[in-house]
Structure 1
């Protein structure tokens, strides 16, 4: 259990980091190296010495010492290199080494390498599930470089730990040992357990470890709680044809913990293609997910009538498929999300819809009386607490000021569900469809019934679905309790790593 000395562990890790840096094209080229160092200095907020071509390795070792003296310094080093190289092989290799550095630091400079052979042999399948459980859902997803049990252990080790809680890295070892036993690797499992028990004894965590070992690992059954992909389009503010697209992924069945993705600036014409790319990427990340997935679009006024649920995926195959084939797709209002003054009635009507769906009802808009109509519409919606769904008389698009004003009244009144017909004209067919959606069996199944009509249109195929009412149904269903986090627009400082103190 003793292994290598702390000094040797530290020096070998530093040497490994320098080995990777020396192979980086950015570090080898003077111009790009200077750019990297400038960006690194800005992130560290301390001076960084210039690095010449001569004596490159000693200079890089000194740079590591500088970074190590700053909180989150090694992560700053890798992030700065990623700004220049993006997700290169060198950047991925460095993230692995930084995770190991921080894990070693967390475990009091202990030699973790005895665990490496047993954990590295664990394939990527199922590791995300183990990581979520070991971290108590604080870690929902794993970065791409966590492709075996060793890397997941390093990634989880050192995360913030509450008093009386087993650190996530040690909890992961408990689950990993159980999995190794299932795979018939008894010797590897026993090695992992011995290491874990030795560390628990050092830190006075025997009871916490025993509780995890008694619980054991049992494969989870598929959750009925959906996972959500939230996609937000925010107007550029300067160029009306450009938008900032952000997204969040939520797959934690035990709580609402959306994980932010990158924010990209796009022309309006690029939005469908970028959504397609994003969904393919998320499906790869969620390959082992066994929950249903719901896609929600958070849209500004000018995009609310866009038929986003009929945007396609798999377009490069020559046989693209609409999103409605694979997901329930809902739309939400960006303006309401941002307007805190509208949130109190929104929460009230959502509670009415969620807790008393059978006692709730829809309000059908029927324009009359000129401009006074919109005033009385808002007044009636605010007075009628059971009115939790509004059926617009016209779509809220550029051609219809009526539809937009009806929607505005509904949002101000806190109405969480709004239906409209994108076809524009008022006809008996779509009124019949909406009547079934909002009047049968209460309002608890709004989404399911709207999805059914869309599936009926889908069944007619590309040559026939445009003539079906289900092709033109828009449903805004806005849950105030499912709010995304802030867009991932920059570096978020990592909180200081805490660990249990050794037992006296």
Structure 2
């Protein structure tokens, strides 16, 4: 790494394995511990919202020095990391011999650091290592049953922890530190009791007399729950229907994990078992437990009370009672009339103009945005409609248990903005494909605007303005006599306008030396509604839009009314005009963060 003369303010985490050189450990044990330490760190950091590979990390043999990426919120390492590291350690230690189990001391600090070409240096780094070696912290940790000792510098405690009651500052106690030339105060928190592995039942052992499970209990959560408790739960959940199955599964998994295919999920027990294979989220609550809570609240009555009682008992064993209480208060209820979105992004491959990248985000929970990235693939451009068909059918496999409306939106760059998605169909494999416009609200979104954060403020202003006043007269018809000689960007800067009808379809790219480009001007001005038609006469197009927008809700009804026109409603012009109407309907509340490259998998 090249030497840097510029000091950088970074959050510093130093990790040390307790008793790494203990004589009870042989070289293979130490190798397993080192590998396990990095697995735990990568998992815990990732589940805390920090990509471990984006951190600056230096191996220290029995530990590591980790600098979080610049700009990372300091409170993340206090808010999420303790629980996520504890859960990851619990899973690691559960399947390891005592000699390969891990206990960690972790110091926290922040401050300016430099890289001298050989490593990271600075007073803040020195302090992090000194407080890690505090003898009082080592002694207290050795006496405790905890898996982690968190030791915060006084500066980090005062600046980050003490001022936020949500970070539980009362769990940290001050300790004096005198190591080498450093003398001062640190703050110690012991976290996560060490749990011995639960022995597996051998095949020849008889089942408990209280009942019999039809399959072996595997998965981290099932291994930690007494078998007799699982037998009772199995009896209650078998053959119990799950309302809003995909929504409940999505709510349980959280926004970072797309819902898997649910073909084999036939009742509440099979849903619970499927979720038991997934790791807990940043709050430390296993998705299977979240699912049971949602199920209990929905079914209510005696059965719901029984499930909640079962959850309370397990929550005490898993030490997640406070997290469950917070979850109950913070998560919104499942809506009665949800609407779902499938967002499909298409982008040309720069090195090969015959191919493009297809990525898609499937919203399984109508109250959660953004959803997790559900897939990325590289495809031939001449196959794009058929690949989109596959994505839609895959999505419908997950949505099959829901009785809700849905939208399919295409996130397109300027180069592909005129793709005739409004004429595409699905179910090509049947030989009788059906137009997408019959089953979904179709829309286009601008990839350029999604990425251009400097356009987002005005975009939100116009969107909020349209919500308050959706009158159709706020739709500007470009190219009309009323435009006169005024440039289009000057006209659209008037906040009266929230939408524009382009005089003609936009070209694949704006001409840099030409007059202001209509599409670019509309995007820069923040207009959330942009319309055009490939071949309609201005009078016919205006007549069509007068009908589409002729409701008391005006522009707010545009997606619904456009689908209505496509589905055979009595419109005053021929149907083909409605079929080919292109609608950019761009909601700034549903933005996808596109600050990392999407790596496709080739078929």
Partner of 1:320: 433
Q: CA RMSD in A?
A: 4.7
Aligned to 2:379: 266
User: In structure 2, what is the equivalent of residue 443 of structure 1?
Assistant: 555
1:102 to 213, 216, 220: 220
- SS at 2:517's partner residue? helix
Contact 1:331-1:476 at 8 Å conserved across structures: yes
Deviation of 1:432 after TM superposition, in Å, equals: 1.6
Q: Deviations over 1:124-149 (max 9, x none)?
A: 85444444555687777245587314
CA distance in 2 between counterparts of 1:430 and 1:436 reads 10
The one of 487, 503, 511 equivalent to 1:393 is 503
Counterpart position of 2:476: 363
Q: Secondary structure at the match of 1:396?
A: coil
1:174 and 1:212 in contact (8 A); partners too: no
Matches within 5 A, 1:52-201: 100-103=218-221, 109-112=224-227, 114-115=229-230, 117-118=234-235, 121-122=238-239, 126=243, 127-132=245-250, 141-142=259-260, 147=265, 148-155=270-277, 158-161=280-283, 168-174=287-293, 196-201=311-316
Q: Secondary structure at the match of 1:332?
A: strand
Quote the Cα distance in structure 2 between the aligned partners of 1:178 and 1:394. 53
Label 1:159 to 1:472 Cα distance change in 2 as closer, same or farther (>3 A).
Answer: closer
**Are 2:541 and 1:426 equivalent residues in the alignment?**
no
- Between the aligned partners of 2:570 and 2:380, the Cα distance in structure 1 is 29
Is the partner of 1:243 in helix, strand or coil? Answer: strand
Q: CA deviation at 1:453?
A: 3.0
- Bigger helix share: 1
- Given candidates 415, 419, 425, the residue that maps to 2:527 is 415
Q: CA deviation at 1:156?
A: 5.9
User: Compared with structure 1, are the counterparts of its residues 469 and 123 closer, same or farther at alpha carbon in structure 2 (3 Å cutoff)?
Assistant: same
1:430 positional shift: 2.1
Q: CA deviation at 1:323?
A: 0.2
Rounded to whole Å, the distance in 2 between the matches of 1:484 and 1:252 is 15
Q: Deviations over 1:70-89 (max 9, x none)?
A: 99xxxxxxxxxxxxxxxxxx
| TM-score when normalising by structure 1 | 0.62
Relative to structure 1, the CA distance from residue 387 to residue 438 in structure 2 (aligned partners, 3 Å threshold; closer, same or farther) is farther
Q: Deviations over 1:412-454 (max 9, x none)?
A: 111111111111x534322321344457643222223323332
> Aligned-pair distance for 1:349?
0.9
Question: Which of residues 245, 248, 255 is equivalent to 2:368?
Answer: 255
Q: How many residues align?
A: 382
Task: Indicate the structure with greater strand content.
Answer: 2
CA pair 457-102 structure 1, distance change in 2 beyond 3 A: same
Q: Distance in 2 between matches of 1:275 and 1:313?
A: 8
Matched residue, 1:480:
588
Structure 2: runs of 5 or more not aligned: 1-52, 54-58, 60-94, 104-214
Shift of 1:167: 5.9
| Distance in 2 separating the partners of 1:421 and 1:477 | 15
In 2, distance between residues paired with 1:490 and 1:201? 41
Cα distance change on mapping 1:477 and 1:104 into 2, 3 Å: same
Would the alpha carbon gap of residues 488 and 286 (structure 1) be closer, same or farther in structure 2, given more than 3 Å must change?
farther
2:276, 2:287 within 8 Å by CA — same for their partners in 1? Answer: no
2:577 matches 1:469: yes
Q: Deviations over 1:11-61 (max 9, x none)?
A: xxxxxxxxxxxxxxxxxxxxxxxxxxxxxxx9xxx9xxxxxxxxxxxxxxx
* CA distance in structure 2 between the aligned counterparts of 1:346 and 1:245, rounded to whole angstroms: 25
Residue 251 (structure 1) shift: 3.2
CA separation in 2, counterparts of 1:248 and 1:123? 30
1:333 is aligned, of 437, 446, 453, to: 446
Aligned-partner SS, 1:255:
coil
How much does 1:455 deviate? 2.7
Q: TM-score, normalised by structure 2?
A: 0.53
Structure 1 Cα separation of the partners of residues 360 and 424 of structure 2? 17
Going from structure 1 to structure 2, the CA distance change for 1:439 and 1:484 (only over 3 Å counts) comes to same
